[in-house]
Chain A
């Protein structure tokens, strides 16, 4: 009865057809043949692109640093296999536009020869700072798809009073099950990674001395007390495996959460697990929670225990046009076309290629694009799997309002965007839209709601940049006018000085003549 009065912990969301059965029962395939050429983009993360430090023609070993991270929010890129650098140039990016991105092309030699790595016996003796430094140097980014550099998050964990570390094993997107298989097969590694992350977030003495006095919120020696691994209840085997692996460690809890898209959205998950709501415009660490993906935890395990940088990941290849759907471990830079050949994708039937899940993933124009750190899945969907795009007038059913996990009114926002009233859309909360696609999915009139929001977000960004540019232009014009005035003044003064000098000369000359 009391539960009746509790505020509901899940807001909005949809339950889409899962389409996971085709791949969820198959073990992760590790027999993917090493591609002849790898196309490794220099930006596979949020932040600044990495800067290459190799030469064309140079021989590199597996795990060798190819490009170093630049600036605070960035991540380095390593060689996924051994071979020779063929080119550093612009190649199409795995992006809906397939516009060029700076890419290193590596011709593999088939030996897969490792660079020297250091195995650490007891990583828990390392400084927490050392842990996040190594995680950063290994090029680890959030593998759920957001690709935010993990080391930056660990640092934020140390600098804020973070008491809960949530490990996101929800994998709420239909079709995808790479995290599911990872949890079933490599549960120990993930749990070890989670414990290492907890250790990396320990606030050791002096860790936040560089911050101003008021900002040192963490106590010295304070620890993030516990980690919660949250797994959707449609993955009972993964839950069981993780439960067994976490058994010896009281700091790591494994819990089941309801299956509902978008459960894996950080704010939704935080609300469900902790009951706290992340305020608009705040980061989750500000309310004491940090969230990482299970794949990231496994990458941390490999990086800290074995010194191996992030070189490959498990990718789900699925969809109606795939004859052999599977979860397969591929090195970064593998072309999607090779992956599709391996999984026997029927080109005739493929109506759309999607990177990521069907709800939030990006549709790709062609398959000559590399897999990157963000590639959790590649889907080859048939026409029958796509949503009908036959747009009808809105019937005001308010379905989109009830499914919106961010609590917005999608129909009002879309109507404003249609008539270019972007400011009105921003007032309605456009910036809180996460483009989860629930509204488009549920809309009986097939209105492309999320497309409107993506367009509007880009447009708002463009306007901000235009605003910024016009301010800069004014500064430049003022600076130029000042300079021109200064130059004119200088010229006038010079002219006067010249006239004065001439008069002086003539006076002297006259005096001399008078003396003679």
Chain B
């Protein structure tokens, strides 16, 4: 009899505490840190893993903790680094940030067999095609994640640097920097 009452009381206690925990989980839910969300929305979102983290979300978490530098995202380049630094209020040294090399995938029509593997893995639907038809890459939508290059059985997908045209040509930065004046910043004349 004593055994029975122990079982019943413990079961009831368990059920009651479980219910309490369930309610608490529902109504007292801890929201994820808004700064992480904001950082994640800045990051490219292609989950490419070039930063060493398994995806953009873990990278954003590391950034928010302060365990990763603002210049961590290679595809984002200095533009993204500046945005992240502005959001986190960090001082930024951009002198050794490498601008991302702009690449675009291109299909070699001679060797494409129309296997459709590449456009199944393309995260931005930048590859168009149909079975046994030659595929093509929409250059404007390609983000150079190289996923298609890995799956292509005939190596007909290759990355190429983006061609310079009149539309994307830019003036180069002047080279001859005098030794002393570089980096003086905007010091006022006193």
Judge whether B22 is part of the interface by a CB distance below 8 angstroms.
no
8 A Cβ contacts from B146-186 to A: 164-166, 168-174, 176-178, 180-186
Asked if residues A466 and B77 are in contact (CB atoms below 8 Å), the reply is yes
Q: What is the bound-complex CA distance between A131 and B164, given in angstroms?
A: 40
Question: Which chain A residues border B37 with CB–CB below 8 Å?
Answer: none
Closest to B83 in A: A467
Asked if residues B124 and A462 are in contact (CB atoms below 8 Å), the reply is no
Question: Which chain A residues border B32 with CB–CB below 8 Å?
Answer: none
Partner of A448, one of B46, B126, B174: B174
Judge whether A323 is part of the interface by a CB distance below 8 angstroms.
no
What number of residue pairs across chains A and B have CB atoms under 8 A from each other? Answer: 99
Question: Which chain A residues border B18 with CB–CB below 8 Å?
Answer: none
Question: Which chain B residues border A420 with CB–CB below 8 Å?
Answer: 78, 94-95
Judge whether A492 is part of the interface by a CB distance below 8 angstroms.
no
8 A Cβ contacts from B61-90 to A: 76-79, 82, 86
Given contacts A455-B172, A455-B173, A473-B124, contact A396 B189 (CB under 8 A): yes
Given contacts A415-B186, A470-B44, A477-B45, contact A99 B164 (CB under 8 A): yes
Asked if residues A473 and B45 are in contact (CB atoms below 8 Å), the reply is yes
Contact with B along A439-470 (1 / 0, CB 8 A): 00000000010011011001101110011011
Task: Give A182 Cβ to nearest chain B Cβ, in Å.
Answer: 29
Asked if residues B124 and A480 are in contact (CB atoms below 8 Å), the reply is yes
Given contacts A97-B166, A392-B178, A473-B44, contact A415 B141 (CB under 8 A): no
Asked if residues A97 and B169 are in contact (CB atoms below 8 Å), the reply is yes
Q: What is the bound-complex CA distance between A95 and B164, given in angstroms?
A: 13
Asked if residues A473 and B46 are in contact (CB atoms below 8 Å), the reply is yes
Asked if residues B170 and A459 are in contact (CB atoms below 8 Å), the reply is yes
Question: Which chain A residues border B125 with CB–CB below 8 Å?
Answer: 476, 479-480
Closest to B41 in A: A474
Judge whether A394 is part of the interface by a CB distance below 8 angstroms.
yes
Asked if residues B174 and A423 are in contact (CB atoms below 8 Å), the reply is no
Question: Which chain B residues border A393 with CB–CB below 8 Å?
Answer: 178, 180-181
Contact with A along B107-133 (1 / 0, CB 8 A): 000000000000000011110000000
Task: Give B75 Cβ to nearest chain A Cβ, in Å.
Answer: 9
Q: What is the bound-complex CA distance between A480 and B181, given in angstroms?
A: 50
Q: What is the bound-complex CA distance between A451 and B171, given in angstroms?
A: 8
Asked if residues B79 and A466 are in contact (CB atoms below 8 Å), the reply is yes
Closest to A93 in B: B166
Judge whether B143 is part of the interface by a CB distance below 8 angstroms.
yes
Of A95, A420, A424, the most chain B CB neighbours within 10 A belong to A420
Of B76, B123, B166, B169, the most chain A CB neighbours within 10 A belong to B166
Judge whether A347 is part of the interface by a CB distance below 8 angstroms.
no
Asked if residues A455 and B170 are in contact (CB atoms below 8 Å), the reply is yes
Task: Give A282 Cβ to nearest chain B Cβ, in Å.
Answer: 27
Judge whether A391 is part of the interface by a CB distance below 8 angstroms.
yes
Q: What is the bound-complex CA distance between A93 and B165, given in angstroms?
A: 11
Task: Give B85 Cβ to nearest chain A Cβ, in Å.
Answer: 10
Question: Which chain B residues border A93 with CB–CB below 8 Å?
Answer: 166
Q: What is the bound-complex CA distance between A396 and B180, given in angstroms?
A: 14
Asked if residues A418 and B82 are in contact (CB atoms below 8 Å), the reply is no
Judge whether A211 is part of the interface by a CB distance below 8 angstroms.
no
Task: Give B127 Cβ to nearest chain A Cβ, in Å.
Answer: 12
Task: Give B79 Cβ to nearest chain A Cβ, in Å.
Answer: 4
Task: Give A426 Cβ to nearest chain B Cβ, in Å.
Answer: 11
Question: Which chain B residues border A398 with CB–CB below 8 Å?
Answer: 189
Asked if residues A458 and B171 are in contact (CB atoms below 8 Å), the reply is yes
Given contacts A454-B171, A473-B124, contact A99 B165 (CB under 8 A): yes
Asked if residues B123 and A95 are in contact (CB atoms below 8 Å), the reply is no
Q: What is the bound-complex CA distance between A473 and B122, given in angstroms?
A: 12
Q: Add 15 more A-B contacts to A415-B181, A416-B185, A423-B86 (CB < 8 A).
A: A97-B169, A389-B176, A393-B180, A396-B189, A418-B182, A419-B94, A419-B182, A420-B95, A424-B186, A451-B171, A455-B174, A458-B170, A462-B168, A467-B79, A479-B125
Q: Can you list 20 contacts pairing A with B, beta carbon distance less than 8 Å?
A: A99-B166, A391-B178, A394-B181, A412-B186, A415-B185, A415-B186, A419-B183, A421-B94, A448-B174, A454-B171, A462-B168, A466-B77, A470-B45, A470-B76, A472-B141, A473-B46, A473-B141, A477-B45, A477-B46, A477-B123
- 9 A-B pairs closest in CB distance: A458-B170, A476-B124, A393-B181, A463-B79, A454-B171, A448-B174, A412-B186, A451-B174, A455-B171
